[in-house]
């Protein structure tokens, strides 16, 4: 269950990374389809990260001499990570939900006061979440696996940004 | 104060693209000359941005500059979207247009977005409102041909009922009844600001609505933080923060407007959030024909400051 929640959070993070990294790169007025595709790309990138993580997890379990202890250690670490990730995700979702309120000031306020700073905090929250999760881990395998997943998730927005920047550059070169 | 926040200096984008205001011909710009301007302000950040722009024989490569300007303006549109700028402009425009109609102005009304860039505001109005069906002509004018061409291309691609022109917004063939702008007026300093407002002082002008950053103590810090998070190009980050630092106070704007435009009453619109002391990021300098004031006030309520 804990791993499933982490997987869902990673997919949500991927969607939002896809959205953010595509913003400011498509100057049309109607762009729901563009953003939908960008978010799908983000979700897909998160699936790749999740698959790599799952592969690493299986490999670790396979190589472990005490599979029961490893499983228990991994679950305890993942549960601790959720203590950091869930409130952060809830804050993000709450601010996105506030954008449904038909008030121009409130909508733009969520960007300036909350979503902007929350975006800024994202890498720090990820590092804090993983470190908090693996801090009390008993096995080195759990620590390494946690760090591996951290690197993957931190690379997500970076990779999407590079991808979207290339597309944007190509579009602009067609114009000038 | 950080050297890159010094309001006495121009923005990089003001200098790397230059057009002759009369002939509209593109002028060649020397990189060394522009570098000297910012070295004079000890602005290393600006120098680093400029150094990266390619040159041909010491002059900025026009294509590279255009690509950079398009990238920056695409990115800036994101800010307008996040601030729901289209909705903000529409609210005051709606009240202005309604007041004109109530006063018997039944003919076509041309709205001119001065310094429209890639035309986000006008394209948004064309896409999301019924204004064109109400005999409202939506136009944007800019001195930068590349940006105007881009605005035109984007409007055509989405079949939006609006048009864009390369030229002088106040010239007889492009002039309108309502002038609007966003983030433009802080580019005019001293005598140029008064001269800008004098250009509004014509028989045809019924109103103007010029949105710009609202200066206050934390504005440059807020702008810096927002640009670091949201903007990717170094030029956009530099000029965006400097814009907030260079923004004119309400008092400067209102006195310049009152000195320059004699046949319109002027004031500030939308300075505070929900009648609290909290300032909005943008406020607007507005001007209306005196006979419209009663109706505009009725449409906008407390958002409109004192008009004189």
| HEC string for chain A | CHHHHHHHHHHHHHHHHHHHHHCCCCCCCCCHHHHHHHHHHHHHHHHHHHHHHHHHHHHHHHHCCCHHHHHHHHHHHHHHHHHHHHHHHHHHHHHHHHCCCCCHHHHHHHHHHHHHHHHHHHHHHHHHHHHHHHHCCCCHHHHHHHHHHHHHHHHHHHHHHHHHHHHHHHHHHHHC
CB within 8 Å of chain B, chain A residues 122-161: 161
User: How near does any CA of chain B get to the CA of A133, in Å?
Assistant: 27
Angstrom distances, CA of residue B213 to CA of A1, A127, B283, B288:
49, 36, 6, 21
**What confidence score (pLDDT) does residue A43 get?**
98
A135/A174 Cα distance (integer angstroms):
51
Interface test with A, best of B229, B235, B274 (most A CBs within 10 A): B229
**What confidence score (pLDDT) does residue B224 get?**
93
Q: Which residues of A touch B231 (CB under 8 A)?
A: 24
A129/A133 Cα distance (integer angstroms):
6
CB atoms B78 and A176 under 8 Å: no
Residue B166, H or E segment:
strand B163-166
Q: CB distance from B73 to chain A under 8 Å? A: yes
**What confidence score (pLDDT) does residue B302 get?**
74
Indicate the residue of B74, B146, B228 with minimum beta-carbon distance to A27.
B74
**What confidence score (pLDDT) does residue B43 get?**
98
**What confidence score (pLDDT) does residue B131 get?**
97
Per-residue pLDDT averaged across A52-69, rounded?
Answer: 94
E-assigned strand segments in B77-152: 109-114, 136-142
pLDDT tens across A144-166, in order? 999 999 999 999 999 999 999 99
Question: Is the pTM here over 0.90, yes or no?
Answer: yes
Query: What interface predicted TM-score (ipTM) does this complex get?
Result: 0.93
**How many residues are present in chain B?**
308
Q: CB distance from A28 to chain B under 8 Å? A: yes
User: How near does any CA of chain A get to the CA of B215, in Å?
Assistant: 16
B245/B7 Cα distance (integer angstroms):
6
As given in the structure block, the two tokens for residue B1 are 């104060």
All residue ranges of chain B with pLDDT < 50 are none
Mean pLDDT rounded to a whole number for chain A: 96
**What confidence score (pLDDT) does residue B28 get?**
97
pLDDT at A176 over 90: yes
Per-residue pLDDT averaged across A109-133, rounded?
Answer: 95
A47/A49 Cα distance (integer angstroms):
5
Q: Is B73 helix (H, G, I), strand (E, B) or coil?
A: helix
Buried b / exposed e over B178-202, threshold 16 CB at 10 Å, is: bbbbbbbbbbeeeeebeebbbbbee
Give the pairing type, strands B282-288 and B207-213.
Answer: antiparallel
B87/B82 Cα distance (integer angstroms):
11
User: How near does any CA of chain B get to the CA of A38, in Å?
Assistant: 15
**What confidence score (pLDDT) does residue B248 get?**
97
More confident site: A65 or B308: A65
């Amino acid at each position: 269950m804990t791993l499933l929640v982490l997987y869902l959070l990673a997919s949500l993070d991927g969607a939002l990374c896809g959205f953010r990294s595509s913003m400011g790169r498509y100057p049309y007025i109607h762009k729901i389809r563009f953003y939908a595709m960008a978010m799908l790309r983000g979700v897909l990138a998160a699936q790749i990260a999740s698959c790599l993580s799952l592969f690493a997890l299986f490999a670790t379990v396979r190589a472990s001499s005490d599979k029961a202890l490893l499983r228990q250690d991994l679950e305890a670490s993942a549960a601790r990570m959720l203590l950091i990730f869930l409130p952060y995700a809830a804050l993000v979702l709450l601010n996105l939900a506030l954008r449904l309120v038909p008030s121009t000031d409130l909508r733009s306020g969520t960007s300036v006061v909350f979503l902007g700073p929350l975006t800024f905090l994202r890498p720090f929250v990820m590092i804090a979440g993983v470190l908090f999760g693996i801090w009390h881990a008993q096995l080195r395998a759990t620590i390494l696996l946690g760090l591996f997943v951290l690197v993957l998730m931190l690379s997500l927005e970076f990779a999407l940004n590079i991808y979207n920047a290339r597309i944007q550059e190509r579009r602009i070169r067609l114009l000038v | 104060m950080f050297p890159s926040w010094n309001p006495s200096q121009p923005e990089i984008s003001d200098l790397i693209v230059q057009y002759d205001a009369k002939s509209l011909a593109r002028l060649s710009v020397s990189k060394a000359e522009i570098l000297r301007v910012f070295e004079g302000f000890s602005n290393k950040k600006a120098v680093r941005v400029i150094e990266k722009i390619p040159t041909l024989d010491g002059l900025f490569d026009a294509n590279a500059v255009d690509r950079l300007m398009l990238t920056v303006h695409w990115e800036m549109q994101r800010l307008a979207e996040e601030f729901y700028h289209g909705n903000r402009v529409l609210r005051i425009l709606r009240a202005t247009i309604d007041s004109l109609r109530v006063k018997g102005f039944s003919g076509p009304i041309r709205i001119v977005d001065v310094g429209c860039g890639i035309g986000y505001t006008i394209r948004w109005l064309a896409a999301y409102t019924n204004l064109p069906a109400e005999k409202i002509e939506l136009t944007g004018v800019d001195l930068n041909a590349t940006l105007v061409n881009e605005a035109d291309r984007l409007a055509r691609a989405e079949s939006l009922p609006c048009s864009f022109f390369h030229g002088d917004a106040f010239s007889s063939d492009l002039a309108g009844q309502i002038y609007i702008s966003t983030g433009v007026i802080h580019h005019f300093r001293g005598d140029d600001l008064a001269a800008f407002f004098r250009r509004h002082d014509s028989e045809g002008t019924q109103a103007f609505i010029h949105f710009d950053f609202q200066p206050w103590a934390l504005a440059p810090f807020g702008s810096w933080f927002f640009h670091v998070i949201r903007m990717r190009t170094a030029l956009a980050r530099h000029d965006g923060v400097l814009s907030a630092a260079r923004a004119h106070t309400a008092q400067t704007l209102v006195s310049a407007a009152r000195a320059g435009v004699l046949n319109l009453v002027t004031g500030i619109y939308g300075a505070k959030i929900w009648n609290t002391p909290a300032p909005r990021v943008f406020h607007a300098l507005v001007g209306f024909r005196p006979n419209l004031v009663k109706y505009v006030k009725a449409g906008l309520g407390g958002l409109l400051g004192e008009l004189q």
